[in-house]
Structure 1
Amino acid sequence: MEGFWCRLRSLLTQSRSVSSSVLAVLLIYSFSSQFLPIEPYLVPYLTSVKHFTNFQVTVDIYPCSIYAQLIFTLVMAPACFYLSYKLVIVLGAFALLITYLIIWGGQSLLSMQIMQITYGFGMAARLVFSSYIFLLVPEEEYQIMTSLTTTTSLLSFMLASELSQLLAIEKASYATFFILSLISLGICCAVTILLPKDCSSSPLYPSLTAFWSQDEGWLRILKETWDGKNIQILSLWWALAYAGFSLVQNYGTSLFDAIDSKSNLNGHILAVSQAAGSLGSLGAVYLELFAIKSGMFIYVLGSALMAIVCACMGFSMKIWVAYLMYVMISGIYQTLACLVSVRCSRLLSNRQFILLFSVNNFAGLLVETLLQAALEILGLSVSAQFISFAGFFFLTTAIFAVCCFIGNGDGDGGSKIVSLASEGETEPLISESL
């Protein structure tokens, strides 16, 4: 841990890349945007207090956010390009605040569907923050900044889950859950105003008129962003791993209930999985150089491990095995997610980070949607679903094992980070305005 803390102290004390006040704002945003004690109890609240049926919640309300997030994720890049990263982050924070205000005060089915649309926008806007931090710091600090903000978010979710479990045991009213969540989101909205301004916006009219131009416009930007075999392969892994892990998260509690419907540890296990994810995101700092030197191998290994974990969950049907495997896959995925997002960002030549994040996550959401539709059509049991997830990750492993051998040499920027410490720092595209 000594190496990590030395790098962390260096980041906190050196103001050449990011000031301590800006770092504090980033971490407060990461924490407050995820500290939502009402989240684990939204379904019981909607059914017991708002008197919606479980069928209405699962069929008429929740799917709206899935489709909304899919659309908003795709438009995040143009929104940042025409407006600014900061403005979109601010709008996303206020969208989440409005979401929970609607839940608390709304009564009709239509209001809940509108709430899901604002939630989808807020979730999509979080992608902007993930890419925005790369505008703040020089390239050699991408990994530690990603690990810090990701760890803060995951720990926040863990603490909120444990607090909500404690409040539920004490039979606190839902108003308490909402007040705590709204205070957290209010802080989140306030700190977004303090974020530094970015210099990424461009005039609207020229960009629109040049859309189909070969020399300028979106076609050129798209081509530049994924210019290189390595970034294309890594982006594909990013999308597939995102889709597979999201399905594991979506159906994890269903598997726990199918194995042991009387177990009351689900909330704690979800919290522990977030802790494992936070440790994994910190571990990415240590694995960064190994990931660069190994090329695709670490992602092939990670896919294989996630496949084995899913197979164990599907075949064993023992609650403690399911709990342990769920925690393990959270740690594995968060480690690799931190590594692959930073690696892809290093390979960018045009610094269009939000375009990279939005398109890769859109592709992941699209794959997830298609896989979920296939599961519904096939009507598989929850254990069979996890076996199918294992098959998906094994297929991903095979695809990238082939890519690893074909593309042996991973040369576009692979050794770049090794010499970054001795080179001049990249000038950030941010004007610190705190």
Structure 2
Amino acid sequence: MGLCSKQAHAGWIYPTTLLCIYGFFTNMRPSEPFLTPYLTGPEHNLTLEQVTNSVFPVWTYSYLAILFPVFVLTDYVRYKPVIILQGLSYIISWILLLFARGVPAMQGLEFCYGMVTATEVAYYSYIYSVVDTDHYQRVTSYCRSITLVGFTVASVLGQLLVSLARVSYFYLNVISLVSVSVAFLCSMVLPMPKQSMFFHRKETGDAPGRTSEDSTPTSNITEATCTEQQSSMTDPDPENKDIETNFCKVLWLLCKDLKECYSSSQLIYWSLWWALATAGYNQVVNYVQVLWEHVEPAQNSTIYNGGVEAVSTFLGALSSLSVGYVKVNWELSGELALAIFSAVNAGALFLMDYSTNIWMCYAGYLVFKSSYMLLITIATFQIAVNLTMERYALMFGMNTFAALALQTIMTIIVVDSRGLGLDIITQFLVYGSYFAVIAGIFFARSLYVITTLLCKRTVKNEAKVETHL
């Protein structure tokens, strides 16, 4: 028994360590906070209008086009090949960034980076196919936290090299290329999983991530739907025993499962906020460096983009961690929290938009990112609380796709030169108004929920009084 325990222990440590190393080095890119200054600097000599309206939108379009095929392919080929593809895409992206010149070349870079972000699903899904369910919580925390550590270390390193050593942005990108190359080598030696969540499942019919305790609901959010779902994915019919190789049947079951997941009204509202807010958040993060460059050109003074990104990531991690220690009835007051913090996000964006001081812009960004990280953690927990691992991946993949579709529409209308092609100040005015609309929607929703609950309590109390009389 002791030998088996040691083998199981070693069995999850090796792939988890390799995946954490991969996650650290893919995020250890000190050039990331200085991308816009690098593109508009002497190395590339692009204008802010070219970067904003012609280069950056390509990432959104390629991400949307690649996401769904990659989502299905990732499970079918069992994760590792897609992780390798991501590592290779990182290398190609930074080679283009270092040595290619001109708008078309940078558009090619953005397409490759769209491949990078679309294949992230493999990184966060791989570990569940090579470790036992007993280790899920631990390995999830390791893999997610190491990415924050890598990004924070990279941001601090980049800021120190720029501010103290006066290292050029070109050499920051050289360091990033070396880092992602190390990550690519790590991806090559990852163990190949023997199973996956949908196409290559265990023959027992039990879904990965589902234990005996999981069948007992701990929240009312998905209590009605999860009971009905158990026959759709976890207990396939006998005639579907060849589901591992039957692509069409798997897709049919995925669609059926997705329909049942969204049959809960509360899940729909949490997912709605998730998609709306994530679309806006991605737009802000994607173009915030352009705003900073507009307010305080990097070529004229020392900038602190790296330090701000490091602090914002740290504050975001703290706010996410705080969710686990706050005792709140999220079913009752969740929509109200979404509304309040969405309004805070809108205010932060308006502050960034109307301020002519770079430090006020930085402060607004810190508030915005921390608030979003807090809310996305709450939404993630509320959506995933009673879902099996398959439904967790499926629903979050669908929400990501919806967010990306909204972001694409926003990019086409607001950013793209073939649309309105708005300047960066007007863009952030639109983004602030967008979050104000989200806040209004969920204020109305929370008012409805609270009013309905009060009415039910009033009716219940009156009924008790009549019964007593």
Distance 1:319 1:356 in 2: 39
- Could you report, residue by residue, the CA deviation over 1:397-420 in whole angstroms, capped at 9, with x for unpaired residues? 2222344455679xxxxxxxxxxx
**Which structure is higher in RCO with an 8 Å CA cutoff and minimum separation 6?**
1
Contact 1:100 1:182 in 2 (8 A): yes
Query: Match for 2:196 among 185, 194, 199?
Result: 199
**1:412 match:** none
Match status 1:208 vs 2:257: no
Residue 317 of structure 1 and its aligned partner are, at CA, apart by 4.4
Distance 2:85 2:158 in 1: 27
**1:369 match:** 408
Distance 1:281 1:358 in 2: 21
**1:314 match:** 353
Instruction: Say which one has the larger Rg.
Output: 2
Distance 2:128 2:332 in 1: 22
Instruction: Judge which range, 47-56 or 155-164, deviates more.
Output: 47-56
TM-aligned CA distance change 1:288 to 1:109, over 3 Å = farther
Contact 1:83 1:201 in 2 (8 A): no
Residue 107 of structure 1 and its aligned partner are, at CA, apart by 5.7
| 1:34-53 alignment runs, 5 A limit | 34-43=27-36, 45=38, 51=44, 53=46
Aligned residues: 392
Query: Match for 2:115 among 121, 124, 128?
Result: 121
Distance 1:49 1:257 in 2: 15
Equivalent residue of 1:348, what SS? Answer: coil
Query: Match for 1:190 among 181, 185, 189?
Result: 185
Equivalent residue of 1:36, what SS? Answer: coil
Residue 235 of structure 1 and its aligned partner are, at CA, apart by 1.4
**1:273 match:** 312
Contact 2:333 2:446 in 1 (8 A): no
Match status 1:154 vs 2:192: no
Structure 1 gaps, min length 5? 1-12, 410-434
TM-aligned CA distance change 1:103 to 1:339, over 3 Å = same
Query: Match for 1:250 among 286, 298, 303?
Result: 286
**2:432 match:** 390
Contact 1:131 1:357 in 2 (8 A): no
Residue 241 of structure 1 and its aligned partner are, at CA, apart by 0.9
Distance 2:10 2:327 in 1: 20
Contact 1:69 1:121 in 2 (8 A): yes
Contact 1:132 1:353 in 2 (8 A): no
Instruction: Judge which range, 399-408 or 32-41, deviates more.
Output: 399-408
**1:329 match:** 368
- Could you report, residue by residue, the CA deviation over 1:38-72 in whole angstroms, capped at 9, with x for unpaired residues? 33444555566765643655555443322111111
> Aligned-pair RMSD on alpha carbons?
3.8
TM-aligned CA distance change 1:217 to 1:182, over 3 Å = same
Structure 2 gaps, min length 5? 1-5, 200-242, 452-469
| 1:131-146 alignment runs, 5 A limit | 131-132=125-126
TM-aligned CA distance change 1:147 to 1:287, over 3 Å = farther
Instruction: Judge which range, 314-323 or 244-253, deviates more.
Output: 314-323
Instruction: Judge which range, 34-43 or 171-180, deviates more.
Output: 171-180
TM-aligned CA distance change 1:250 to 1:210, over 3 Å = closer
Distance 1:384 1:107 in 2: 29
Contact 1:43 1:57 in 2 (8 A): yes
**TM-score, structure 2 length as denominator?**
0.70
Distance 2:134 2:404 in 1: 28
Match status 1:29 vs 2:22: yes
TM-aligned CA distance change 1:97 to 1:195, over 3 Å = farther
**TM-score, structure 1 length as denominator?**
0.75
Residue 237 of structure 1 and its aligned partner are, at CA, apart by 0.9
**2:157 match:** 163
Contact 1:309 1:329 in 2 (8 A): yes
Distance 1:171 1:201 in 2: 50
TM-aligned CA distance change 1:196 to 1:283, over 3 Å = farther
| 1:14-93 alignment runs, 5 A limit | 19-43=12-36, 45=38, 51=44, 53-54=46-47, 57-93=51-87
Distance 1:241 1:140 in 2: 31
Amino acid at match of 1:250: N
TM-aligned CA distance change 1:48 to 1:154, over 3 Å = same
Equivalent residue of 1:33, what SS? Answer: helix
| 1:221-240 alignment runs, 5 A limit | 221-240=257-276
Amino acid at match of 2:162: A
Amino acid at match of 1:249: V
Residue 349 of structure 1 and its aligned partner are, at CA, apart by 4.7
Runs of 4+ in 1 over 6 A off after TM superposition: 15-18
Equivalent residue of 1:286, what SS? Answer: coil
Residue 282 of structure 1 and its aligned partner are, at CA, apart by 2.7
Instruction: Judge which range, 21-30 or 232-241, deviates more.
Output: 21-30
Distance 2:327 2:128 in 1: 16
Contact 2:78 2:192 in 1 (8 A): no
Match status 1:305 vs 2:299: no
- Could you report, residue by residue, the CA deviation over 1:7-47 in whole angstroms, capped at 9, with x for unpaired residues? xxxxxx9x789944444334323321111123344455556
**2:223 match:** none
Distance 1:307 1:145 in 2: 35
Contact 2:36 2:289 in 1 (8 A): no
Contact 1:92 1:121 in 2 (8 A): yes
